[in-house]
Structure 1
């Protein structure tokens, strides 16, 4: 006891300004623990699950939810309140829990700072505060927690430097400060943490070289001293200097990520890493210009557990050695793209029998693509684009039964497209564009049931007609056959490609008429069939393609009257130039007038009637989703094409790497929102466009179902007041949606701004509120009444209503959405689905096991209608009646009985009537 008293005296003398010891040594007991927990409860301002309801004096505090006590002394030893949605702060009284050894508040919405008093917890072994919104600096007082072995402060908003005093924590084994705003150097004292096994500092703004003792650079034997170190994650910082040569001798290392920094110099020899599984050195400035510059690759033959190896986006040169085939047989991902490698791709790569992805794009590789690649039984992704490969595409690729994506664009490949691709029944993307390919398109590739992303054969010398089998691609989203020598008619079966969003068949020799079946492509956004030999009339049924953004029919031999309705009234969408026999259309086209109807033949009149009839019965809105074509045509190299190809825009596709670059490796600085199943980041893509990127927390229970539900719902819907999906990225356990960015945040922030985000809050006047209500009602009306099968959102609340630059509202977050059974607008799912929605907005019948219905969304819409501060912000006498009518409508929507609630179509009419009365 004397020793403990002396320790407390020393603590008070040393840290008296922030430990509050000026009144003498604190005396802690059971009552102190209870009082401290009650103070913690009072600092939690929002408890959505009602967990702290058990924290009351009617039961012993050791029985409170999340609390564990010492059995004999009844003192608090553990607090586990992870993932409960808490909002609030951590009080300094936490430091009074002197027996506390485990504190986990991860994945809540705690803000404020970490109290310095936490240094009193000298028994603390585990401190987990990750995934919150904690600001301020890392307390120096943590160094007094001498038994601390596990420290996780990741995914917060911490700033300042990492205290060097933490290097004195001799038992510290696991450290994660990732995804914060930390600056400065990595403390040199960390080189003394002999127990350290996991060091995760990625996605900060740490700079300078890795520390070297007291001189500011890491000693060459650092990794030898850190004999227990198994995980080192420093990616996404501003670190520079050389990678210490001793890393090659750190035999305990299993995972190393130094990516996205500014490391330079040679990659060291890596021959003593027997346990390494992940080694990522990508996105640095590493070189290999010495005579034995590829030894790092050869030395990895001594790492039989290696599964992931990446040196992409560096300054590496030279020829790839045949020793690449000696890498681990466990290797799954081999990533060496965006360097300056030359020579051929060694055939020995076929030794890597478990590889699922290899990426060598954007290098200067030459020669033939080795046919031995066709012997890799698990290969799924091939990235060889932007090189100088020549010769034929190996037929052996057809042996790869798991093949999902093939990227061979921008090379010098010649010969025909192998028909063996038809054997790849899991193929989703095939990009052979910008090569020297000839011959016909093999019909076999149109018989792949999984083909759901992109087929790009543009800028080759393909001939013949397009097989009618193309109609079998009912899941394909983008087709590009442009700039070839294809002929014959455009197959009528193209209309069966019901998920198609992008179609480019321009600059060929297609003949005949434009098939009427194009009007079946209800989700199509881009059609370019310009620069062909098409004849006949423009089908009036194309007027019904409501989502079309580009319709290019120019430079053909079309004739007759140009339609005027629908998209044909918008000259920014439709181009019909250089068709000399066209007439009519909207006046801005400045085409000659057509002959009067009396002068037309009866046969022509009949055709017009048939076209109009066909347009009137065309069904509404087929499948639509994502995965766009590359964002812009690449440099065409050896190909000579017309100048208009330079301005051709095509829809983008993004890989996980693209999204990491757009968000600075998902930096917390880019974080704009978090939910139960995902985090949303603001990102800037490589073309400069600003987007919102929703990354799903796949480790979270239910996240996978949420991702699939959101994709399934958004595949079926498109409306001006629904957030627009730009792309989807699904790579293994990584799932993300790329969405249109909404600069004015969400409605929750505007209606109820919190003090720490008060600068975001804006006064919403009566007219703006009515506009937002009308926008949300319009979106729900469409989902409930105008979709082919009704869609129930299931989680309508202000935080899921986003506002664009013009303050127009857009509904988002379809992770809980449900598609109702056809012909049954109130059909429901079984109660085993559990509660659907957010507490406070969820319809009461859901709590009793009732099934999902559109009336549940109506209930949610009725909540939170009136702001009591509205009179103080903006008022006109005429608003009395308007607010009264809106309040009445809200109460109707929030009726306890679902059958008493109006439909969203009726609600939309009510809102329009209120707006009309206020404008009179």
Structure 2
């Protein structure tokens, strides 16, 4: 609709709308897309971007500026847009309080202010907007309790108050909203129980209560709402058993999530009847029994997550249900870690969904070898097999999982060589192989992993030198840990390329040579552990560049020379261990060295001074006698001889 330009001839009502919009514009502090540029006198306000008017009365009925990257606050004069039926400011950066004047908009039906930075309390005057169907202010910074005045909004279809800082309890009067279809109170600080009155909302389909501090059991009345398709109470303090017939009560269920609570009992077999189920997530509870094979009927399943329960009996056959999961061809996440599953990892896992991206079965009691057929899971991004009893060698076929970003084989009984095929996993960011029985040398092919951020090879029986291809991976930014092996040789100078590394731990090996000066280039280091090796020479002065260093441990080496003064002044250093070396000289009594609990320097017999708590002997204070030149010696000798001769001549008289 093209509206003609009106200025002096405009009605007072039109002028009121225009002035309210100008107030809105004047409070915009950031407008990178230039949206407010169209809000000018050259164009009728009904033609401004984001503004929709009633054609016959030329009154603003909708203000919609979703995702326009705007920042600013909402003026009180917004209450003058008396014909407004909808306001949508979703996904911007509006801040400040939502003005009470919004309660003057008696025709308002839809409010969407999600994903902003609005703060203060939810204005109680919103309760006057009795025509509201949608009230969604999720993902802001609102505080306080849910106002009881909102109980007058009896026509609400959607109530979204999630992801704020709301406190108090869930009001029972929400159960009177007979038209409510979507209720989101997630990610707040709500406490108390779930009101049984919510069970009166017979048409409720979407219920989000996750991320609060709710306690007690889920009221049985909730399970009578057959229209529920989205149910999430994850991360609360709820307990009790899931109803055996829950899959029959919620026949349209698509999301059923209750992770991080205290639920007990078995997984209901009836869930296999919820044929639309896509997400089944009850991780970190206390569920018992095993996973029903009937879940293989859920062909729409995308996530099946039972990490961190008490499932399984530690026996052969605990994972027999794997075969049925081959029917779940859309499965992306399969979480079975930290349970009591025993027996072997079935070869039928090779038939799992080729869409599978996350597979965890760590911290169980699984035995035998890792099936070679694992290479069929070509979409895997994360594979967690840690904390089991897997033995034998790692299949070379794992090197075919070229989408893999995280591989965790920690704490098993794996042996043999680290496969050179790992070098093909070029998207890998995390590789954990510690506490196994790997032997031989570290394959230089790991140097191909240019996205690697975290590498842990500790507590194996690796030997040989550290390949410079590996030690120089500039992508390493979290940790490089190779402690407790039998690695030899010197630490390559390429270590200086690890400029973003936070932790370097090569302790408990047989490394020798000098500590490289290039370590001073690793300016983000917080933990540096080289203890239990055979390093020699002095502590590099370049380490003074490590301003964020919190832990430095060079104990049990062959270091010599003085303790550098800069160690007392490193601002973040909290733990320093230089014990059992061959260091000498006076130790500072200042800075970190004034805290005996933070410093360990025993086993260095040539050290002295320091704070009394370190129990070192006092330093000797002998006067330093300057050495005399040969010319000075001759002159002094001649002078002494002359003085003696003169003295003797006096004696003759």
Which of 436, 439, 459 aligns to 2:461? It is: 436
Which of 407, 415, 418 aligns to 2:432? It is: 407
Give the Cα–Cα distance (whole angstroms) in 2 for the partners of residues 549 and 400 of structure 1. Answer: 37
Shift of 1:423: 0.9
Residue 95 of structure 2: aligned partner: none
Shift of 1:429: 1.4
Give the Cα–Cα distance (whole angstroms) in 2 for the partners of residues 59 and 374 of structure 1. Answer: 63
Change in Cα spacing, 1:319 to 1:123, as seen in structure 2 (3 Å) is: same
Bigger CA radius of gyration: 2
Which of 245, 252, 265 aligns to 2:276? It is: 252
Which of 323, 332, 351 aligns to 2:357? It is: 332
Residue 593 of structure 1: aligned partner: 619
- Identify the range of structure 1 (512-521 vs 433-442) with the bigger mean alpha-carbon deviation: 512-521
Q: For each residue in 1:848-889, what CA deviation from the matched residue of structure 2 results, as whole angstroms up to 9, or x when unmatched?
A: xxxxxxxxxxxxxxxxxxxxxxxxxxxxxxxxxxxxxxxxxx
Shift of 1:459: 0.8
Give matches, 1:730-749, under 5 Å: none
Change in Cα spacing, 1:370 to 1:584, as seen in structure 2 (3 Å) is: same
Shift of 1:570: 4.2
Are 1:60 and 2:82 matched, yes or no? yes
For residue 236 of structure 1, give the secondary structure of its aligned residue in structure 2: coil
Are 1:112 and 2:135 matched, yes or no? no
Residue 338 of structure 2: aligned partner: 313
- Identify the range of structure 1 (418-427 vs 566-575) with the bigger mean alpha-carbon deviation: 566-575
Residue 322 of structure 1: aligned partner: 347
Change in Cα spacing, 1:289 to 1:245, as seen in structure 2 (3 Å) is: farther
Residue 413 of structure 2: aligned partner: 388
Which of 276, 290, 301 aligns to 1:266? It is: 290
Give the Cα–Cα distance (whole angstroms) in 1 for the partners of residues 551 and 446 of structure 2. Answer: 27
Residue 9 of structure 2: aligned partner: none
Which of 229, 248, 266 aligns to 1:242? It is: 266
For residue 62 of structure 1, give the secondary structure of its aligned residue in structure 2: coil
Q: For each residue in 1:82-131, what CA deviation from the matched residue of structure 2 results, as whole angstroms up to 9, or x when unmatched?
A: 4452423564x76664432222233342423452772x545321111223
Change in Cα spacing, 1:420 to 1:223, as seen in structure 2 (3 Å) is: same
Residue 550 of structure 1: aligned partner: 575
For residue 373 of structure 1, give the secondary structure of its aligned residue in structure 2: helix
Shift of 1:427: 1.2
Q: For each residue in 1:244-293, what CA deviation from the matched residue of structure 2 results, as whole angstroms up to 9, or x when unmatched?
A: 11223422011121112221112111211111111211122111567643
Aligned Cα root-mean-square deviation (Å)? 2.8
Are 1:351 and 2:383 matched, yes or no? no
Give matches, 1:718-867, under 5 Å: none
Change in Cα spacing, 1:125 to 1:544, as seen in structure 2 (3 Å) is: closer
Change in Cα spacing, 1:569 to 1:268, as seen in structure 2 (3 Å) is: same
- Does the aligned pair in 1 maintain the 2:175–2:200 contact within 8 Å? yes
Change in Cα spacing, 1:563 to 1:238, as seen in structure 2 (3 Å) is: closer
Shift of 1:59: 4.6
Change in Cα spacing, 1:538 to 1:293, as seen in structure 2 (3 Å) is: closer
Are 1:161 and 2:189 matched, yes or no? no
Change in Cα spacing, 1:314 to 1:561, as seen in structure 2 (3 Å) is: same
Shift of 1:152: 1.3
Shift of 1:204: 2.2
For residue 619 of structure 2, give the secondary structure of its aligned residue in structure 1: coil
Residue 197 of structure 1: aligned partner: 229
Unaligned runs of 5+ in 1: 1-47, 68-72, 212-217, 603-920
Give the Cα–Cα distance (whole angstroms) in 1 for the partners of residues 233 and 279 of structure 2. Answer: 13
Are 1:377 and 2:410 matched, yes or no? no
| Higher normalized helix content (fraction of residues) | 1
Residue 80 of structure 1: aligned partner: 112
TM-score (norm 1): 0.55
- Does the aligned pair in 2 maintain the 1:116–1:141 contact within 8 Å? no
- Identify the range of structure 1 (274-283 vs 109-118) with the bigger mean alpha-carbon deviation: 109-118
Give matches, 1:399-478, under 5 Å: 399-478=424-503
Residue 303 of structure 1: aligned partner: 328
Number of residue pairs matched? 539
For residue 325 of structure 1, give the secondary structure of its aligned residue in structure 2: helix
Change in Cα spacing, 1:526 to 1:310, as seen in structure 2 (3 Å) is: same
For residue 470 of structure 2, give the secondary structure of its aligned residue in structure 1: helix
- Does the aligned pair in 2 maintain the 1:499–1:523 contact within 8 Å? yes
Residue 51 of structure 1: aligned partner: 74
Residue 901 of structure 1: aligned partner: none
Shift of 1:358: 0.9
| Higher normalized strand content (fraction of residues) | 2
- Does the aligned pair in 2 maintain the 1:49–1:84 contact within 8 Å? no
Give the Cα–Cα distance (whole angstroms) in 1 for the partners of residues 495 and 627 of structure 2. Answer: 35
Residue 277 of structure 1: aligned partner: 302
Give the Cα–Cα distance (whole angstroms) in 1 for the partners of residues 465 and 627 of structure 2. Answer: 40
- Does the aligned pair in 2 maintain the 1:90–1:115 contact within 8 Å? no
Give the Cα–Cα distance (whole angstroms) in 2 for the partners of residues 575 and 229 of structure 1. Answer: 60
Residue 161 of structure 2: aligned partner: 129
Residue 795 of structure 1: aligned partner: none
